Structure 1
Amino acid sequence: MLPIIVCSIIAMAIVAERLWTLRRPRIIPQHLVAQVWHQLKKGKLDNAQLQQIKSSSPLGRILAAGLVNAHHERTVMLESIEDAGRHEVHGLERYLNMLGTIAAISPLLGLLGTVIGMIKVFGAIQLQGLGNTGALAGGISEALVTTAAGLVVAIPALMAYRYLRRHVDGLVVDMEQEALKLVEAIHGQRERGREMAVEAVG
């Protein structure tokens, strides 16, 4: 039972920490791309502003990686965003593997406890015979408690793991879309400027 109790405490701590850390406003601040684009158009995006964006959120760090390479070609900017995105995804998925492991091993720990308990019960039968059925029933029920405890820990842990994994996947997709908006805004405007220059020369 002790390993199962430890697993339950760790699982609750991970779920609470991830729910707090993975809040959407903290990961993807509302209107961040619009604010960055507004500052960029006004020419107010200096190093201090860039560091502020970088420290604000995971999305801010992805956008900052793209802005550093905004003067390069579109592919270079996208590659820098993808590299930063991979690093941020790793941070978003922190502790989730441990939560999944707890969900997987808790029933096995419960089953192990039951098997050990049943071995003790059969050992008692061998020594005392089947005369004391009350003691045998009590021993069997105690052995089965570990399986129930393992399942009680594993089922919520598995549900939380699936939910958090899905939540992270959704955040990743939304961050990619927000970053692409900035890329298209910067390079779209650059392309329009080139077209206008060509038309003026023509």
Structure 2
Amino acid sequence: MEYIINIFQKGGIFMYPLLFLGILSIAFIIERFYSLRLKKIIPIDIIKDILDFIQERKIEEARTVAKTYKSVATNIIFEILNAYLKGRKNPEDLKIIAEEVAKIEIPKIEGYVNAIGAIAAIAPLLGFLGTVTGMIQVFEALSVSGLENPQVLSSGISQALLTTAFGLTIAIPSLAAYWYFRSKVNFLITQLENIALETIYELSYEEK
């Protein structure tokens, strides 16, 4: 622990905002791992029950299930069924409703994903800024004391580079997490689109 404190003291003031970014990144990553579980966004068993009710022409029961079980997918289905039961039975109208609901629901899926990407971009830049600032201080000290003690130069440079190293340590896992979550979000959005279209198709089939 004492070694870590010593490293932070050597790295200078930029180590502290970098530490803050690192803590934020960890918190956001943990939150996204929990929130982006498939059963939390798209509860497959519940969706199957709703579609079964629609196929059996039990639209009211299907709406009740969708309203009872809260998730992104069931919220979209509920609004489709709600509009259908209110007389808006044209498939194109139902698609518009699904799109409107999706605009509200999809940001819930994305959550802090973009924030993780922002941290991945900012951390190395902040670390590099700390290094540049540190190097300026080293050369200013050299201009005063000269090259009588080379250890001062080497020690100063190593201290200045600490912020870059720490910034990259934060950025690399954050960037990996960002692309992982971005891929998962895109997959979930595609699945939600398919579920909405399947719901509308089943309702339209019932009309025929």
TM-score interval w.r.t. the shorter chain? 0.7 to 0.9
Q: What is the match of residue 52 of structure 1?
A: 68
Compare CA radii of gyration and give the structure with the larger one: 1
Q: Check if 1:133 corresponds to 2:150.
A: yes
Q: Distance in 1 between matches of 2:62 and 2:168?
A: 55
Gaps of 5+ in 1: 192-202
Superposition RMSD on alpha carbons, in Å?
1.6
Among residues 32, 35, 46, which one is paired with 1:21 in the alignment? 35
Q: Which residue of 2 aligns with 1:95?
A: 112
Q: How far did residue 42 of structure 1 move?
A: 5.7
SS at match of 2:188: helix
Distance in 2 (CA, whole Å) between partners of 1:172 and 1:166 is 10
The count of residues paired between Structure 1 and Structure 2 equals: 189
Instruction: Give the counterpart of 2:94 among 77, 80, 88.
Output: 77
Match of 2:166 among 149, 158, 168: 149
Q: Distance in 2 between matches of 1:32 and 1:171?
A: 16
Gaps of 5+ in 2: 1-14
**Equivalences for 1:152-171 in 2 at 5 Å?**
152-171=169-188
Aligned to 1:86: 103
SS state at 1:31 partner: helix
Shift of 1:46: 7.5
CA distance in 2 between partners of 1:46 and 1:127 (Å): 80
Q: Give aligned-pair identity as a percent.
A: 34
- Runs of 4+ in structure 1 off by over 2 angstroms are 31-34, 37-44, 46-51
> What CA deviation, in whole Å up to 9, does each residue of 1:64-101 have, x standing for no partner?
01101124211111111111112111111112222111
**Would you say the 8 A contact 1:14–1:99 is kept in 2?**
yes
